[in-house]
Structure 1
Amino acid sequence: MEEPCTPQPHPVDQRPAWGALLLLGAQHVLVMYTGSIAVPLLFGAATHLSHATVTLLIDADLLVAGVVTLLQSVGVGRVLGVRLPIVAGAGFSAVSPMILIAQQYGMAAVYGAMLAGGVFGVLVAAPFARLVRYFPPLVGGTVITVIGLSLLGVGTQMVAGDDPSAPAYAAPVRLLLAGGVLALIVVVMRLSRGFLGQVAVLVGLVAGTVAAVLLGQAHFSEAAGASWVGLPEPFHFGAPHFPVAAVVSMCVVMLVIFTESTASMLAVAEMTDRSLTTGDLARGLAADGLSGVLGGVMNSFPDTVFGENLGLVEMTRVRSRWVTAVAGALLIVLGCVPRLGSLVAMLPDPVVGAAALVMFAMVAGVGIRILRHVDFEGTSNLLIVAVSLVAGMVPVTAPHIYDRLPAGARIVFGSAITCTAVCAFGLNLLFNHVPRRRTGHRTAP
């Protein structure tokens, strides 16, 4: 008598062997690490914070990102977490509003407003999730495409440098390192079909770092000065303040983050062949809202789904959420062990930038693939995509074009992702959901 076959769990729920799990999780961390710490570095520079304070922000950022990544991957009952292979990290949507709040009201108001915005996000997560029908492939594909395209400049800047007048800008050795990493990733992906192909980005990062050390382009001595163990200090800037204008700004930012995360979660669900219910989406958005609460307490930043890791899932086809759960655990360790975090932060920019360029381009490719499901014949959908792309790429090609607008307008128009999301969402409503008025003219008999 034949024994009944045990149904195989969905690939999202399967757990690889522990060795593979650790390596794949570490690959996710290395891919997103530099992009994640870029947010506190940028914010710290704009608000003239000391090096010690910026280090605290980085540790807090990694700790909160790790907690939210764990929640998104593993989930907490019917309350938190989308249970998909997602890595969360500090997005750039909140940086400009936070800088403006810091300049006008002070640092205590920044984190008071973030705390209030996080509570708002947790409360509106379920109602926002019910709007998922207004995020068809037309909207989601356009937003995901612009996420990838808008970040290409960040990767290029990491490879070449951020100061065109500097002697080392786009130096041949930097371009050689980046080109070598790109070529190695492609070769490993082409020649290996097994586990080695799944960790191709990790292979490129390790080999590129070794090459950079040999060429004198990487130095890790400064990491020795960091402490081994340390937790970020809650409410480092004092008791939080809640100016009304600052709170409203951060609530708007949270809605923008929800729009971005909704598109990303729908994209991951499609990549992994996992159906995404309204409840799943609500739990995922609630975790994003919780990141604002934790960020307000721990001096961090609101988190969103990281595009680099979305591209990594597409590239490696490793769909297990337990891989990203391990990545979340590693981020928590990095946040609590400043010396390890400092060591990873010193990976050479050209090497990390080359890997990031691949991931960002993969994200854009995912968005284009999603747009394949859109019906362009006899509709205005092509116009919607075109105008949304224009709206999103303008602040990328001309970063200072909206500097003279009021602060509230800069929150929307100054971010490529925000601008695209608002434009695609609004135009989709206008053309595909609002009924057209009849002219009232009769056809002649």
Structure 2
Amino acid sequence: MPVHPVDTRPPIARLFAFGLQHVLIMYTGCVSVPLIFGAAVGLDAPTIAMLICADLLISGVITVVQSLGVGRVIGIRLPIICGGSFSALAPMILIAHQYGMPAVYGSMLVGGLIGIPLAWLFSGFLRYFPPLVTGSVLTVVGMSLIGVAGGLIVGQDATASSFASPTNIGLAALVILVAVAVLCLGRGLWRQLGVLIALVIGVALSIPMGLYDLSAVGTAAWFGIPTPFHFGAPEFPVTAVAAMSIVMVVIFAESTASILALGEITGKPVSRSDLARGLTADGVSGVVGAVFNAFIDTVYANNVGAVATTRIYSRYITAVSGIILISLGLVPKLGAFVAGLPAPVVGGVGLILFAVVAIVGVNTLRTVDLGDPINMTIAATTVGVGLLPTFMPGMFTKFPDSAQIVLGSGITLAALTAFVLNLVLNHTRLGASARSALTTPPNITAHPTGPIVEPHVAS
């Protein structure tokens, strides 16, 4: 019986090379979560460094669990890379300001505990995530993340001297050119490692340009383990717990879209039990992350794009990625070395991979009958609503904090919009009645000069 590509085990050298490629692709996004959170709540540099190590450690553990699985309980056994979710950032920051850090991790702990049994219930809604929903959401995910890549290339601070630097933009353009050349013209292993090759060449060029900052490597420790409950005994304000429970559901919807896309890309269909095991790992990340001061993990869409680009589907490769992430979390000096990667180099590669995610979404929508007005409306509304916060940042800042938890992320809005519209218009009598009215042919009567078409009036 032939082995499915997902279950193949490449030679050790390839395992490490492709595993490292995945880590370099996701690293910036992974460390951005603790960086943004730490700055927003006013933590000092050593504490933020601790959060980064904790985030890498938990991301690595959950990635290994997702890739290899733990019995029939946890882990989907697909080539998945997990990392801190941006969807949880806004509510965590709000909770920190209102209740303090112990409440942040107390509410995350309860949210994770609720999420573990909820994963099996949520997976029962698998049939409500057809290609219409997943394709629309993935399109929004990819297009939204392009702005993240742009921020890495151009810079985030418009007042900084390096903002929109032609040097940085030129370096990113060169990295993109190298990646395109290798991915399109390369053969075999060279083509599959196109992203890593572009990264290596970009880093090599950045060194004489003075863009690769390794100053933090010398002061970083060789070994360190995050202290459990570093901020003190967890606290459980009801509002905060409710908020993080909602976040858990949102992360489930986000991960579901990526997991189903991976199933389609790899040719390995995802069953309800598969999805339940994958989402359970998200819930476990909330529990373990709360203990070790990390973040709730989700499936990283940019690595879904990498799988689609390289066409290397082995889950053992992402398991190696998880081991590398664990090493980075336990050896701060290694983490500092990778953290020094120049932002324009990572942004150049990210631009391609994020766009690939969007194209995967578009390709998924191609399997949907978009000639159907209802399907077209659902897809169009999802993309429009999902991209609105990206093009109009801060549009919900005057809403209550509890509302911002849901409204603050375009990806969250897209997932909720697609799910609700598809449920109402494709799985209820209302939708059936509307579709019947759309498909009923008009009445045609004979007339001496030709047929007269009488408009159909729905009863």
Distance 2:274 2:382 in 1: 27
Rg larger in 1 or in 2?
2
Instruction: For residue 12 of structure 1, report the CA deviation from its aligned partner.
Output: 0.2
Distance 1:238 1:283 in 2: 31
- Equivalent residue for 2:60, pick from 49, 60, 66: 66
- Equivalent residue for 1:130, pick from 124, 127, 147: 124
List runs of 5+ in structure 1 lacking aligned partners.
Answer: 1-6
Instruction: For residue 389 of structure 1, report the CA deviation from its aligned partner.
Output: 1.1
Q: Which moved more, 1:428-437 or 1:228-237?
A: 428-437
Aligned to 2:323: 329
* 1:261-312 deviation digits (Å, cap 9, x = unpaired): 1111000000000021111100000000000001110101000000110000
- Equivalent residue for 2:365, pick from 352, 368, 371: 371
Aligned to 2:235: 241
Distance 2:69 2:79 in 1: 11
* 1:45-103 deviation digits (Å, cap 9, x = unpaired): 10000000000100000000000000100001110000000000011100000000000
Q: TM-score, normalised by structure 1?
A: 0.96
**Counterpart secondary structure, 2:150:** helix
Distance 1:127 1:396 in 2: 31
* 1:196-226 deviation digits (Å, cap 9, x = unpaired): 1111111111110110001122221221100
Instruction: For residue 378 of structure 1, report the CA deviation from its aligned partner.
Output: 3.3
Distance 2:37 2:372 in 1: 46
Please show how residues 111-122 of structure 1 align to structure 2 within 5 Å. Answer: 111-122=105-116
Q: TM-score, normalised by structure 2?
A: 0.93
* 1:242-263 deviation digits (Å, cap 9, x = unpaired): 0010000000000000001111
Distance 2:391 2:157 in 1: 17
- Equivalent residue for 1:37, pick from 24, 28, 31: 31
Code of the residue aligned with 2:251 in structure 1: it is: I
Distance 2:457 2:229 in 1: 70
Distance 1:38 1:385 in 2: 30
Distance 2:157 2:290 in 1: 33
Task: Say yes or no: does 1:291 pair with 2:281.
Answer: no
**Counterpart secondary structure, 2:298:** strand
Instruction: For residue 328 of structure 1, report the CA deviation from its aligned partner.
Output: 0.4
Distance 1:334 1:220 in 2: 15
**Counterpart secondary structure, 1:89:** strand
Instruction: For residue 408 of structure 1, report the CA deviation from its aligned partner.
Output: 1.5
Instruction: For residue 443 of structure 1, report the CA deviation from its aligned partner.
Output: 8.9
Instruction: For residue 390 of structure 1, report the CA deviation from its aligned partner.
Output: 1.4
Distance 1:295 1:254 in 2: 13
Task: Say yes or no: does 1:174 pair with 2:168.
Answer: yes
- Equivalent residue for 1:108, pick from 102, 110, 122: 102
Task: Say yes or no: does 1:81 pair with 2:82.
Answer: no
Please show how residues 179-194 of structure 1 align to structure 2 within 5 Å. Answer: 179-194=173-188
Instruction: For residue 8 of structure 1, report the CA deviation from its aligned partner.
Output: 2.1
Code of the residue aligned with 2:26 in structure 1: it is: M
Code of the residue aligned with 1:172 in structure 2: it is: P
Distance 1:378 1:218 in 2: 52
Instruction: For residue 21 of structure 1, report the CA deviation from its aligned partner.
Output: 0.6
* 1:351-394 deviation digits (Å, cap 9, x = unpaired): 01111111100111111111111112234011111111111111
Distance 2:131 2:6 in 1: 22
List runs of 5+ in structure 2 lacking aligned partners.
Answer: 435-455
Aligned to 2:418: 424
* 1:136-185 deviation digits (Å, cap 9, x = unpaired): 00111111111111111111010011112222111111011101100001
Instruction: For residue 190 of structure 1, report the CA deviation from its aligned partner.
Output: 2.0
Aligned residue-pair number: 436
Code of the residue aligned with 2:295 in structure 1: it is: F
Distance 2:186 2:156 in 1: 35
Distance 1:36 1:164 in 2: 23
Quickly say closer, same or farther: Cα 1:432–1:443, change in 2 above 3 A: closer
Distance 1:97 1:378 in 2: 38
Aligned to 2:262: 268
Structural RMSD (CA): 1.4
Aligned to 2:253: 259
Distance 2:34 2:140 in 1: 23
Distance 2:433 2:37 in 1: 51
Aligned to 1:281: 275
Distance 2:191 2:209 in 1: 27
Distance 1:123 1:362 in 2: 33
Superposition misfits of 4+ residues, deviation over 6 angstroms: none
Aligned to 1:356: 350
- Equivalent residue for 2:17, pick from 23, 31, 47: 23
**Counterpart secondary structure, 1:83:** coil
Distance 2:182 2:50 in 1: 37
Instruction: For residue 438 of structure 1, report the CA deviation from its aligned partner.
Output: 6.8
- Identical amino acids, percent of aligned pairs: 50
Instruction: For residue 422 of structure 1, report the CA deviation from its aligned partner.
Output: 0.5
Aligned to 1:3: none
